[in-house]
Amino acid sequence: MQNSRIRVRKARVVAGFFAAIAIILWIGGTGWSLTPTASEAESLAAWEKIATVLQHPRCLNCHQLDSPLQGDTRRLHVPRVVRGPDNHGVSAMRCGNCHNEMGNNPTSRTPGAPHWQLAPVSMLWQGLSVGDLCRMLKDPSRNGKRTPEALIEHMATDRLVGWGRNPGEGREPAPIPHREFVDHMKAWVAGGTACPK
Amino acid sequence: MITLNVNGKSYELDVSPEMPLLWALRDKLNLTGTKYGCGVAQCGACTVHIDGQAARSCSIMVGQAAGKTITTIEGLSGKVAEAVTKAWQRLDVVQCGYCQSGQIMSAITILTGNKKPTDADIDAGMEGNICRCGTYVRIRKAIHEAAKALA
């Protein structure tokens, strides 16, 4: 009787051990850590790098109120286009009329990526200081209801975000290589999404 | 091979998926009613419909249009298209005519989604179609007239 209890206890210990290993492996596989590993200073330093990307024309040009900007000089989009109810333009002037989901058009040089559109009104970045942009980005009411982890995921995998590094001829790519940028995002989050004043 | 569905017919084309749709329409399918204007999505002369939506065929690539329903000026049909083309004829909108197939395609898209467009709706929707003859006033009037005919 006692032996069988010991066997059950041993089996539970072994099962628990393997379950713990599985959870650790799973967490490792997702790329997230359980606890913040960066300091606030490291988080702030990472944010300063992130901001150079978000304030670059490749990102900022479409985080505008009613009409996007174009080019490295940030001029108004020609032809004139307006936001419309779904952020994709209006009637015969919708973003997808010219911008290809499959990518940049090398002949007309029209840029393209999936869900080409103006960023939602809640995400107006134009004119924000680096600190205000930081506070906006981590505010779920102004970032598409994203958790910090979801922000990393968005920046890492969204193909429209990724387009900024492959914008086609005649446009300067967003600064900082993609992997490095995602590492900065992780460090910013790990250190508590610190924002400058 | 890429399959394009144009004006109700299916075509197999041995072209690059990055070829502008306009090249395929004009040079491969001989559908020359759609015009080449600027080639960089700035003038609207190349406007066609893709799944009923106005699209610049100089900028949309063949690979993007594959599997979708493409309509050119030659393949127009239906009440809205009829109302628009009749209004265009009645008001003698056309001057040189080069931009007009694109203008008509955009006008049909506007009226398909909005049965009673205001001047502002028309201006916003037609913004990408330019006319060197300056027929804008007649275009706007013809769209209003087509809307009345459809009411």
List chain A pLDDT tens, one digit each, 197 residues.
Answer: 456 666 666 666 666 656 555 554 554 444 454 455 789 999 999 999 999 999 999 999 999 999 999 999 999 999 999 999 999 999 999 999 999 999 999 999 999 999 999 999 999 999 999 999 999 999 999 999 999 999 999 999 999 999 999 999 999 999 999 999 999 999 999 999 999 99
The SS3 of residue B86 is helix
pLDDT digits over B48-87, tens only? Answer: 999 999 999 999 999 999 999 999 999 999 999 999 999 9
Extents of the domains making up chain B: 2-75, 79-150
Q: Give contacts of A108 with chain B, Cβ < 8 Å.
A: 20, 39-41, 56, 58-59
Nearest to A53 by CA among A187, A193, A180, A186: A180
B61 touches chain A (CB under 8 A): yes
Q: Give B23's contacts (C-beta < 8 A, 6+ positions apart).
A: A107, B15, B62
Torsion of CA A25, A27, A28, A33, to 10 degrees: -140
- In the structure encoding, which two tokens stand for residue B64, read together? 């993007």
pLDDT digits over B12-52, tens only? Answer: 999 999 999 999 999 999 999 999 999 999 999 999 999 99
Q: Tell which A residues from 96 to 155 touch B, by Cβ distance under 8 Å.
A: 96-102, 105-110, 112
- Does the interface ipTM go beyond 0.85? yes
Q: Which fold has domain B79-150?
A: DNA polymerase; domain 1 (1.10.150)
B127 touches chain A (CB under 8 A): yes
Q: How far is CA B57 from CA A180, B26, B105, B124, in A?
A: 37, 10, 12, 20
Residue with tokens 């978000």: A54
pTM: 0.88
B132, burial (CB in 10 Å: exposed 0-12, middle 13-18, buried 19+): exposed
Strands B69-71 vs B2-6: parallel, antiparallel or unpaired: parallel
B15, burial (CB in 10 Å: exposed 0-12, middle 13-18, buried 19+): middle
Q: Which of B18, B114, B125 sits opposite A106 (nearest CB)?
A: B18
The whole-number pLDDT of residue A26 equals 52
Q: Specify the DSSP element, H or E, that contains B35.
A: none
Residue in chain A nearest B48 by alpha carbon: A97
Distance, CA of B10 to CA of A76 (rounded, Å): 39
- In the structure encoding, which two tokens stand for residue A71, read together? 């080019």
CATH of domain B2-75: 3.10.20.30
- Whether residues B63 and A94 touch (CB distance < 8 A) is answered with no
The whole-number pLDDT of residue A6 equals 62
